[in-house]
Structure 1
C-alpha cells in the first residue's frame, strides 16, 4: 500500500522545514507550499490525502485557500483540511468550520499531537472510502444483475428475426455476432458469468453506435443477431466493430478476453429475396468466416457472397473431384535469366470443375488442408509429376528437374515414403526431383522439418525453400538445414526494378545464397525491366509470366524442343 500524502502550507520557512521533516520521518509523502497561491497551483496537479495549512499568510491566507478549494471542481476539493493557528482565535475557528475545515492545531506545534491527529483523520478517510467503494460495488453488481436479467429475458429467436426482416420497408443491415469465449465462460464459470459477459459485450457494441440499441436475437447458443438501419457510410461503424472483435472485459475483477467473429450482411426488402434463404446463406457465411479465422469484420458484399458460395461448393465437391480425376498438373518453367535456357519446371496442381470451370488453387488448396485431404493429394501430385518427367526423359530431355510443392502437413505425414515410392515407380533418379517447402511450413515445426529435409537429401532429392524472406527464421535454418536452393518471394520481385528497398533485400538474399553455395531463383518475374535488374544484382535464375504462363506437359515439351536446355545447378 502506498504512503499517504500531505500538503504542508506554511509561510514561515523554519517551521515549514520542521513540519516537513517530521512528516517525512513518520513515513508520509510531503508536498510543500509557502502560501495559499502556490498551494492552489500545486493542487491543480497533485491530489494529497490531507492538507495541513497555516491560517495567517500573506496574499491568500488559509481561510481563503480553503474557501476557494471547496468551491472548486478539483479532484481534491473535499480533501481533509487541518488548520494551524498561532492564536486559536474564535472567529477564525468558526469561519474555518463554516468553510469546511476538519480540525485545527494551535501553535507552537506539538508534533506528537500533530501526528496523532493526522493518523486519526487519515484512518477515518480510509474507512469512509472503503465503505463507499463497497456500497458502489454492491450497487454495480445489482445494476449488472438487473441489466443481465433484462437482456436475457428480451432475447428473441429465429422466428422473431425472420419477422423483423420481413417487416423491413427500407434496406437494413443484419449484424451477426459469434463471441467465441462465451461458451468457455459458461462451462468454466457458470451461466451467470456468461450472461454478464454477454451484457458487457453488447454494452460495448451499443457504445459504438446509438442505433444499435435495439432488440437482440438469440439464434443459438453463443450466436446473436441485430437488425440495424442502413448507413450511407459504414466506416465509423466498421472501425468500432473491428475494435470489438478482440476486447478485454472484467468479470468479478478477473480479466476476460472476448474474441468475436462479426459479419455484416446488407438486406434489401424485395419480393424476389427469400428472407429464410437470406438468413441461411448469411449463417453459412459466418460459419465459413469463423473457420477461416477472419481477422476483420466480414461485410457480405455481392463479391464476398459469391466467394462464400464458391467456397461452400468447393468443400462439397472436392472429395469427389479428387476421386473422379478432375485435378491435373501444369508446369511453370524455370530458366536462366541471362540466356533463357530452361533448367526445369515447377509442377502446379489445377482443378477443372465441370460446373465451375477452372478453380484457383489459392481457393481449393486451403480447403484440402482443412479437410485433411492433403495426405491424398501430395502423393498424387508426386506420382503425376514424376510420370510426366518420365515421359520427358524418355524423349531425350534428361537434364530437366521437376519441383513439387509440399505443405506443412506433409512434413508430418510420410512425405519421405511418398517421395521414395514415386521415384521407384517411375524409375526417376532422385537428383531430378526437387521438393519445395515454404518458409512458413518450416518454422511451424523446425524439428520435423529438419528431419524430413535431411532424409530427402540423403536420398539425393534437392530441397528448396519457397517464398524465402516472408518468414521469421531464414538465417537460422539456412545455416543448419540441408538446403540446395532458395526462391525469392514475388513480393520482393514485383518492384525490384523501381524500389531501392526491394533491391537491397534481393541483393542481400543473392549474396547470402552465393556465400552458402545455394541456387537462387526469383519468382514472379513479369517484365524485362525486372529481369534486367535481377541479372545485374547477380540473380541467375527465375520463373514467371515474362517467359510463359503455366503449361500442359505437351506444351512444356514443345517449349523444350524450341530451346537449348541447361542444368544451371551447382554440383552436389
Structure 2
C-alpha cells in the first residue's frame, strides 16, 4: 500500500500551456503538495537549481528546450539520479516512451491526463525517490564507515582457488586485488614468518570448515603507502550449505595505525622515554615475577633489589646544560645494562634514581655482583669530549629477609640508600632492627584481626562520584571497601586488601561487597536516583567458577537492573586466561551488566585485548592524570588511550582528577567522565546522595 503524500513534498510543473499548469496545480495542490511552475525547459533548470524540488512533472512538447532535452540536462546536473521525473506527453507510441526513458525519465503519463492515475503515480514516484535516496545514503554511510575503520571484504572460491578482494585493498595497502587473486600470490606478499600460519589456516578452512582469523604483515610496493609493511587483520568463514559451502566469505581490516598506537601506549606506560629503561611500574612487575619463579625453583636463588641515587646531579644540569646531562643519564643507563647481567633487570624509577634486580645463588654472590656494579659506575663517562665522574649512594634489600614482595624490597632498598647517603657511604644493606621487628608483630596482629572482620561487621563501603562531562551531573560511583578496626579505627585499603588476597579471604569479602553495592544501587533507584555503581573484581574472584552466578544472584536479590552494575577488572587480571576472560565477560554483557577495564595503562595496555574483550568502559589510571598538564609523556598516553576508546565506541573515564586544569584538558580530549577529589572524595552513601542531588559542576 502506498504511503500518504508528505505535506512538505515540493512538485515542479513544467509546461508551456498555462491552462494545463493551472489544472495540475489545482489537482495536486488539493493533495497537500507544494507547487512551483516553469513555462519552459530553461526556466525549469533554473528553478531546480534554486529550489531543489522533490519531483518534476515535465511536458514533452515545449519551445526552446523540449522535455527530452530538459530531462537529459536535469540528469547531467543530478549526478545522484534520485530526482523523480514524470513525463507528460500526448504521444502513445513506443518510440516516444523509449525517448522519455532514454532521457532519464522515471515514469510517463499520456494526455489527456487521467487525474486519479496521475495522483497515484506521483505518490509512487515520490516514495520510490525517497527509498532510492535512503539506499544511496546508506551505501555512502557504509562506505564512509569502511573507509574510516579501514575495512574491506574478501572471498575465496574453494573450487577454483580464486581470491576476490574489494577495492579497499588497493586504497588501504597499495596492492591491487588482481595481484593477490590466489593463495600463492597472497603468500608471496606476506612476511616470511606469517606464511606458514596463513597456509595452515586456509588448509583447515578447506578441510574442516574452520574459521579463519589471522593478523598478517603484507608487503606493498606502492610509494604512496607508508609504512610499506601493512598489518592486516583477516577474518573469514565458510558458507553453511549448498553452493555457499564452496566459498569462504570474510572481511579484512588495516590495523597498522592501531598497532603502532598500541605499541606507543605500551612503551610509554612502562618505559622511561629518555633512557629506554623500564620505569617503576615495569620494575615492580619484573621483581614480582622473578620472586614467583624463585619460589618454584628447586635451586635456591637470592634476589637482590638495589636502589642507586646520583649525588648532587643537579650540578651537571647547571654546568653542562640539560642536553649533556641527559646524555650522561643515557650513558649511565647503558653501563648499568652492561654490568647488570645474568637474569637482571634495570629501571629508572626517578629523575636521578635507578633500580636494579640481581639474581644470584647466595646472598654473598648477590652483594659481590652489586659491588662490581657500583665500582663500574665510579669509572669516568665521556660526554662531549670531556671526562665526567659521578658519585652514587645506594642501598640494597634481599629477599626474603627484607620483604616478601617488590614494593617492600624497593622501599627497604630506598631507606638503606638514604641512610648510606647520610653516613657518607657508597652503599648499605637494609637491616631488621627492633623497630622492624615491631612492625612485623603489628602486621601479624593485623592479620589476626582481619580474619574476624567480616563476621564482626567491621567492613563498610564508601562511594566516589563520577561526573559526566557532557551534562555536568553525577551519573555513577565507584564502590570502595573500608575496614573499621575496633582499636585502630579505619585502616587504609593499601594495608589490608593485599592481606585479604594473601589470606584467601578476598572471595567472601568480595561477595559481600557485590551484594552491598547492589542493595545500595537499588535503594538509590527507589529514591529516584539511578546511579551506576562500579564494583572491583579481584584476581581470585575472577577465577572463581561461581562468580557469574554470585553476581547475578546479588542483582536479583537486590532487585536492581544489571545495567546499573559495572564490573571493573584490570588488564593484567583479564589476560591470565584469555578464553576464560572473554567467555565470562561476554556472559556478563549478555546479562546486561556493564564491564570496565580499570587502571588502564599500567598493565599491558594492548589494543588487541580491547578488540577481543567485550567492554563498555576504559578507566585511565590516575598515574597518567597527576602530571598531565606538565608531562608530555602522560599527555601522549592519555591522548592515545582516549582516541582508541572513542574509535572502539567505549566510554572513557579518567581517575584521580584533582584540579580544574586537569578536568579541562580531559574534556577537550574527549574523555566521557571524570572521577577524583575535584568531584568528590569517597564518602558514605547518604553523603553521596546529597552531593548527587545538589551537585554543581566545578569551574
TM-score, normalising length: structure 1: 0.50
Q: Using CA pairs under 8 Å that are at least 6 residues apart, name the structure with larger relative contact order, 1 or 2.
A: 1
